[in-house]
A and B are shown apart, each in its own frame.
Chain A
């Protein structure tokens, strides 16, 4: 089931669904998912387009290994021009939706135009049609999925949808599939909402396309699964504690951004950690964590499923929130917790469920609350403006602000702008902790220097998943490097960015890279896909994708000035921990990185680089 060789083009303005042959020459050059969909996007969309204009397009794309027996082969991505950032956006999600789309016989769906009224796309194998979604508009993600499944009388339909935040123009709305998994960042759900597209419901019984060499493919996937099982991180660490095990690690290292990056260590980190999720609560004698969970075809199973304490103030008298639900993962726990100084684990899980329920990115939301709390602390925002006291550390404020953002009420509308626009509005743009208007994730780049460069140069704005040098700088994967120095980080960031581009285009999860290298992925791709997928070809592929995205951003108006960090990280040294006294050395690393990339001092790929990559 590599490529189905077929894409679905949905013109929302005309109300049509058309089948097209997949461009197989491009598939050889850009593989699938992130790479191939971005190629389509760039060929078809003006880089200067307003992200919320009908002329912007939105693509849901699978990779050649999506829906196959390859471990973690259930991924799909949403590619568009990001509402939050105005840059190329590519948000990756797991769950079961991507595999189902593949089973229905499609490699990707391209949405263009804008529907006059709310619609959802229904796909049942070859049959695709737009259906009225007036009855779904105003519903949450959870409600939408339930209503669609009931109306189709098919519980096995997979649904990707937006919640009320995507309808209300929250700039960091997600596309949520399978209730708890999300294409989370950059406002891809906001773009979907701007098109009056509420949901995509897919049921696939076709089984998908052909594997080039089934025998070799099965041998390759079995070998690769053994690598994951034998690896202590993917075989034991992630299933047991999930990503949340990092909370104490990163705090001990002095790289846990706290109170809008004022501090790098959080005194209550342990209270919101993976270890805490395992502990029995004094109130009901139960641990918050119920079980771990896996996406389609995943043999790691890092996902968390939890239950909130029914006596907690956030859910008392709200039995609809007493059941098991997704979370907490590390990024959400950090953003909702340490980023605004809240050490209340139950409040964090409740807000995390709200983020899933109404489809907004917990990283950007939590970081934006952190920025608002700093504005409140400085007296720039008042109790009257916010509608409540909102000091750092207030779980009550966090909970109320999340509810207001989900519904698009009161100050929630302002939080829905994201921190960059919020801080700009109140005259303190430097207090937004992000790059290209997208907020940082959970690693302070004063304590992990390479991440500062990874954030600054990420094509979709600040992001840990474009070049996760934490693996090397903290965890020693594949080799340990010193997190406190800038030397060697340009090459390290480039290597991570290029390799990740390949994994994101294959249909597998980036978490496999804690155990796999490209050498583990290559035999699987080579057996599944027609063509010769050599290591050399994959190396060039990753670099090609990265440069292609860069060219789009440059054409959209981004320059080297946008490859930068907020002043706080460059001028306010870390106060505690191993990085005490350090700022991030982005100004030293950036030129080294441009050189390693074969770009000019202005961050523009040279003619030689483009020629070498076939761009």
Chain B
């Protein structure tokens, strides 16, 4: 299935160069692929995988190893960040 994979802030360095301009990479994945599978595939340091959203909804740490995807969903990940 097709999903969109987004990495932001310092994590964008783990995207291919062509994807950095948009922070987004279209991905073709298996239906059994989980959030954590993608974290490992892109070699993201786990301590930097902080804010994880699928279509804008928060995925708690305890669900990331089991959460799979629906066609067309967007996964977005940030390291620890804040603002105001």
A residues with a Cβ closer than 8 A to B are 231-234, 236-238, 240-246, 248-249, 252-254, 270, 274-275, 279, 330-331, 464-465, 468, 470-471, 474-477, 480, 482-483, 510-511, 514, 577-578
Contact = CB atoms under 8 A, between A and B. Distances in A.
A358 to B, nearest CB: 24
Nearest to B58: A480
B8 A330 contact: no
A254 B56 contact: yes
Interface string B45-84: 0011011010111101000000000000010101111111
A275 B82 contact: no
A252 B53 contact: yes
B22 interface: yes
A510 B82 CA distance: 12
B9 A245 contact: yes
B82 A471 contact: yes
| Residue among A253, A274, A330 with max Cβ neighbours from chain B (10 Å) | A253
Nearest to A482: B58
A253 B51 CA distance: 11
A244 B10 CA distance: 13
| Residue among B9, B51, B56 facing the most chain A CB atoms (10 A cut-off) | B56
Interface of B: 6, 8-10, 12, 21-23, 47-48, 50-51, 53, 55-58, 60, 74, 76, 78-84
A436 to B, nearest CB: 20
**Most chain B C-beta atoms within 10 Å of own C-beta, residue among A231, A244, A246, A477:** A246
B23 A270 contact: yes
Chain A's interface: helix, strand, loop or mixed, by majority?
Answer: helix
Contacts of A238: 81-83
B80 to A, nearest CB: 4
Contact of A252 (B50, B76, B79): B76
A38 B6 CA distance: 46
Given A246-B82, A253-B56, 15 more contacts: A232-B48, A233-B81, A237-B81, A242-B83, A245-B78, A245-B81, A245-B83, A248-B76, A249-B8, A249-B51, A270-B23, A274-B9, A331-B84, A475-B82, A577-B55
Given A240-B10, A248-B23, A252-B76, A514 B82 contact: yes
A480 B9 contact: no
Contacts of A233: 80-82
B79 A232 contact: yes
Contacts of B48: 232
A272 B74 CA distance: 20
Contacts of B10: 236, 240-241
7 contacts: A231-B80, A233-B82, A237-B81, A465-B84, A471-B82, A475-B82, A578-B56
B12 A243 contact: no
Nearest to A238: B82
Contact of B22 (A234, A270, A468): A270
A464 B79 CA distance: 22
A242 B8 CA distance: 13
Kindly name the residue among B9, B12, B21 whose own CB sees the greatest number of chain A CB atoms within 10 A: B9
Nearest to A253: B56
Among B8, B47, B84, the one with the most A-chain Cβ atoms within 10 Å of its Cβ is B84
A428 B83 CA distance: 33
Contacts of B83: 238, 242-246, 330
Interface centre among B9, B10, B53, B81 (most CB of A within 10 A): B81
A83 B45 CA distance: 49
B16 to A, nearest CB: 16
Given A241-B9, A252-B76, A330 B84 contact: yes
Contacts of B81: 233, 237-238, 241, 245-246, 249, 475
Nearest to B60: A480
